[in-house]
């Protein structure tokens, strides 16, 4: 299982998605009132001296990130069912692209509501890296499937 390169790609996807889920991935700054907001899996919070004040939830984004994590983790253990692995990876690709759509919708709405400009942290690039790794994993799984089919023809 671990000796296959697609398994390594999938493990990296799981690790990067875990970082994405549990670290702040964006923020908002209201320059007029000198307010700073942080966006993480719990929601959008106003940074204050005495703690963070809850502003808005982002539960759909957190659920989507958790679903990406779970799907990639399950895909690792389906190494004997390569066609199902490829289908789950395509589904995961769609979820990762949907992550960006949902993230920008949340940031745009929060920016309008709080009269703030948004910015992205480095962690926001991880789903894009995951998309690339998913394509590489799909290609490797396809090569394995082609190899198995060619060996069956020789028998």
pLDDT tops 90 at residue 126: yes
Work out the widest C-alpha separation in the chain, in whole angstroms.
Answer: 74
Confidence category of residue 154, pLDDT binned at 50, 70, 90: low
pLDDT tops 70 at residue 3: no
* Domains along the chain with CATH numbers: 5-154 (1.20.140)
> What is the DSSP track for 80-120?
T-HHHHHHHHHHHHHHHHHHHHHHHHHHHHHHHHHT-EEEE
pLDDT tens digits, residue range 104-119?
Answer: 999 999 999 888 999 9
pTM comes to 0.86
The C-alpha atoms of residue 118 and residue 125 are separated, in whole angstroms, by: 15
Contacts of 33 (CB under 8 A, 6+ apart): 115
The candidate with the shortest Cα–Cα distance to 99, out of 76, 129, 71, 68, is 68
Instruction: Please state, rounded to an integer, the average pLDDT across all residues of the chain.
Output: 89
Radius of gyration (C-alpha) of the chain in whole angstroms: 19
The SS3 assignment for 63 reads helix
């Amino acid at each position: 299982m671990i000796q296959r390169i697609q398994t390594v790609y999938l493990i990296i996807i799981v690790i990067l998605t875990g970082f994405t889920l549990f670290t702040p991935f964006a923020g908002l700054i209201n320059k007029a009132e000198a307010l700073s907001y942080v966006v993480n899996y719990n929601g959008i919070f106003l940074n204050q001296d005495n703690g963070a004040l809850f502003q808005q939830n982002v539960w759909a984004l957190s659920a989507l990130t958790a679903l990406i994590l779970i799907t990639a983790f399950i895909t690792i253990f389906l190494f004997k069912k390569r066609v199902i692995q490829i289908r789950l990876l395509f589904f995961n690709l769609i979820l990762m692209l949907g992550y960006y759509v949902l993230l920008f919708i949340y940031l745009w709405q929060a920016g309008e509501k709080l009269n703030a400009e948004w910015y992205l942290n480095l962690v926001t690039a991880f789903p894009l890296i995951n998309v690339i790794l998913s394509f590489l994993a799909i290609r490797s799984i396809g090569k394995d499937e082609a190899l198995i089919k060619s060996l069956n023809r020789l028998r």
